[in-house]
Structure 1
Amino acid sequence: MKRLGDIATYINGYAFKPEDWSDVGLPIIRIQDLTGNAYQANRYNGEYAPKYEVNEGDVLISWSASLGVYVWHGEKAVLNQHIFKVVFDKTEICKNFFVHQVQGILEKAASATHGATMKHLTKPVFDSLPFYLPPIEEQYKVAAVLDKVSDLIAKRRQQLDKLDLLVKSKFVEMFGTYPANERNWDIGTIRDVISEAKYGSSRPATVDGQYPYLRMNNITYNGELDLSGIKYIDVPEKELPKCTVKRGDVLFNRTNSKELVGKTCVYDRDQMMVLAGFVIRVRVNERALPEFLSAFLNTDFSKQMLLGMCKTAIGQANINAQEMQNIGIYIPPVDLQKEFVTFKQQVNKSKTTINRSLEKLETLKKALMQEYFG
């Protein structure tokens, strides 16, 4: 058994500051760009040390906040801090074998951390993590099996992405874009189609909290509710009506990194959950359906508008409840909104089938990882 520090050299990225950002030059790779929660919104047009350059096929490891290992498949870029670039200069190794095993190592490292959310994995701890290094022939055999399962998982995820794109395309086909309003619908603001907009709780999560705690990370960029990694919280009973969610609530992420502000989804569960303060709970009136409002805010044209609205301070951007309610919107007839919701529900049935297949494949991969790496 080896240690990760024996396998390769790990080069940490550079701490690019906001004043280094540009609209031209090389993309700056941040953790969000690796996890799929954002796209290369910032670039760097100055000089940099060659060690910070990232090219096609380089292996990258995020070691802060979101632990993960990735193979870069984008254009030439420069590496931001909190990410290692892996240089295989210490031993003979199959790159894909390394990627699969480190993925499992990081998952175990994350699950072994209790209490507060893991902030980062220090370099000494990272270097000391055990690594199984069999002969190179066995490495390639193991990697080939895991590659096949991973490819199937990637295809299922691509199918889900295409269905999400289909829903967005159908929305624009039915309602047009805004502010162009090609269909000449009634015009108003979000304030005109909602009955209330309230912030969630500002209380911190607790280890043994009584209630599930919905946070900004539980809303995906594509507008889905993701309850993986759910936290818990204790809230006095008298405060619950102000900060709990119910089926049909629209959830708007008001504070995040700039490109993620405005992530919106519909709460489609019956379980009572407490909402965190960085999310606004929106309840619609008779002029709009929750799914229509959420889909409107998740369109490409709305995301561009939200980017322009954000106010940034100390690395975080924000759109407050009043600003959110002032956003312009077209208001088509509710019957037409219902047609869109029916279409989306049919697509969701297909997504459910794909998700079941995806879950089985992910379970199989976990079993294989356990068999190969322990």
Structure 2
Amino acid sequence: MALVGDIATEVGRKAGADRARVYSVTKYDGFVPSDEYFNKQVFSRDLSSYKLVDVGTFAYATIHLDEGSIGIAPETALISPMYTAFKINLSQVEPRYLIRLLKSPRALQAYSILGEGSANRRRSIPFKRLATLEVPVPDLNEQRRIADILDKADALRAKRREAMAHLDSLGQSIFHNMFGGVDMHELGSRLQFMTSGGRGWAKYYAAAGKRFIRSLDVQRDAIASGTDVFVIPPDSAEARRTAVRGGDVLLTITGSLIGRASAVPEALGDSYISQHVAILRSSMLEPRFLSGFLNSDSGQKQINSAQYGQTKPGLNFERIRRFRVPDAPMELQQKYANRVAAVERLKMKHNLQMTELDNLFLSLQDRAFKGVL
């Protein structure tokens, strides 16, 4: 065992007039070019106070290390003064081993003790605190063996994530191939019912009851689970108006999550919605087809152009009714729904395999840093 301070030294001088590419240090990908990560320039034009770090330097977000925001510079780079940088003694430590160790669940748990400050979400970990962390440091050959094993296991996870990302875009490709160039008609001419949720549902929250679907629950072509909220709905006309049925399509209509749509599975029928979500109900449009359209490039362009408001964007019912939807026969809509359902089954299989790979990786990490791998 050794203290981080015995194998590493804090570095990072001010850039001054020196120039290099600006990087951000992220939770999942470590060092990432800032302009690519944010798709725009978010850093200051005056870079003189930024830190200049050499290739191979470790850096971490001083107030987000407990989330795993740490990485190794792939080239000489500029980083924000908010990051802490350090170099390691390469005669003692293999970089690939140490970065795995410092991002492991074991290390993340230790960071909660090292943090300084009163605010739980803003507790900082300066290098003087990180330097007190005790870490296992076997001989270099063993470190490299462990790093090789973890790298190979992580590569399998990366390939699985790539496959899942391809499946995420496959539904949109299917929609475009089947309905691109088809004549369009106004959505309002095909809707039998449209409404949004009311206010004041918080007083009906309960540990169990009917599912209450918020805007953050509405994903693209999916209703999220895992952070479910429940209500005991009142016996009122307002509650009955906003009750969800299986086969409805939900669309987020206000806020930063505007424009996400999903068909409602039968299992979530008799749920209720917040004021930020609209119900679209139609017997003339297959739910997955309508959801697929709203999430397609064409649907999203119409949603973006129909929004009103700058600080809090929104969609009103009149503009939603004017959306132009492909005029496809029900048979073709159902064929699309069947294809998307097959993709969803494949995604579910990949998700299960991803969970197995994640669990395997966690097990390997745990054993590696206990010295029993």
Residue 89 of structure 1: which of 73, 87, 90 is its match? Answer: 87
Q: Distance between the aligned counterparts of 2:275 and 2:72, measured in 1?
A: 31
Q: Distance between the aligned counterparts of 1:266 and 1:232, measured in 2?
A: 19
Q: Distance between the aligned counterparts of 1:231 and 1:31, measured in 2?
A: 28
- 1:105, distance to aligned residue in structure 2 (A): 5.2
Name stretches of at least 5 consecutive residues in structure 2 with no aligned partner: 13-20, 31-35, 114-118
Which structure has the bigger radius of gyration?
2
Aligned partners of 1:201 and 1:243 also within 8 Å:
no
Query: What secondary structure does 2:251 align onto?
Result: strand
Q: Mark the CA change 1:208 to 1:142 in structure 2 (over 3 Å): closer, same or farther.
A: farther
Name the residue aligned to 1:320.
315
Query: What secondary structure does 2:345 align onto?
Result: helix
Residue 282 (1) aligns with residue 313 (2): no
Name the residue aligned to 2:50.
51
Q: Mark the CA change 1:256 to 1:330 in structure 2 (over 3 Å): closer, same or farther.
A: same
Residue 298 (1) aligns with residue 295 (2): yes
Query: What secondary structure does 1:286 align onto?
Result: coil
Name the residue aligned to 1:162.
166
Q: Distance between the aligned counterparts of 1:276 and 1:110, measured in 2?
A: 39
* Counterpart residue identity of residue 319, structure 1: G
Larger CA deviation: 45-54 vs 261-270: 45-54
Query: What secondary structure does 1:270 align onto?
Result: helix
Aligned partners of 2:62 and 2:125 also within 8 Å:
no
Name the residue aligned to 2:137.
134
Name the residue aligned to 1:363.
359
Query: What secondary structure does 2:334 align onto?
Result: helix
Q: Distance between the aligned counterparts of 1:312 and 1:30, measured in 2?
A: 33
Name the residue aligned to 1:69.
69
Q: Distance between the aligned counterparts of 1:91 and 1:48, measured in 2?
A: 29
Matches within 5 A, 1:253-264: 253-257=252-256, 260-264=257-261
- 1:167, distance to aligned residue in structure 2 (A): 2.0
- 1:171, distance to aligned residue in structure 2 (A): 0.7
Q: Deviations along 1:317-347, whole A, 9 cap, x unmatched? A: 4223424444333332222111101111222
Query: What secondary structure does 1:320 align onto?
Result: coil
- 1:233, distance to aligned residue in structure 2 (A): 4.4
Equivalent residue pairs, number = 339
Query: What secondary structure does 1:88 align onto?
Result: strand
Matches within 5 A, 1:1-374: 40-44=38-42, 46-49=45-48, 51=50, 67-69=67-69, 85=83, 87-89=85-87, 93-101=93-101, 102-104=103-105, 108=109, 120-124=121-125, 132-135=135-138, 137=140, 138-176=142-180, 182-183=181-182, 185-189=183-187, 192-193=190-191, 195-199=193-197, 203=201, 209-211=207-209, 214-220=213-219, 222-228=220-226, 230-238=227-235, 241=240, 245-257=244-256, 260-268=257-265, 270-271=267-268, 277=274, 279-311=276-308, 313-314=310-311, 317-322=312-317, 323-373=319-369
Q: Deviations along 1:198-247, whole A, 9 cap, x unmatched? A: 13665459997325554444444x5433324x143444443764555443
Measured on the aligned residues, the alpha-carbon RMSD in Å equals: 5.0
Normalization by structure 2: what TM-score? Answer: 0.68
Aligned partners of 2:104 and 2:365 also within 8 Å:
no
- 1:123, distance to aligned residue in structure 2 (A): 0.8
Query: What secondary structure does 1:161 align onto?
Result: helix
- 1:292, distance to aligned residue in structure 2 (A): 1.1
Q: Deviations along 1:271-321, whole A, 9 cap, x unmatched? A: 56865636414232122121112111222343344444445655xx42234
Q: Deviations along 1:236-270, whole A, 9 cap, x unmatched? A: 4437645554433323233444xx53122223361
Query: What secondary structure does 1:47 align onto?
Result: coil
Normalization by structure 1: what TM-score? Answer: 0.67
* Counterpart residue identity of residue 296, structure 2: T
Q: Deviations along 1:58-86, whole A, 9 cap, x unmatched? A: 8665967x9453769999998789xx645
Larger CA deviation: 145-154 vs 195-204: 195-204
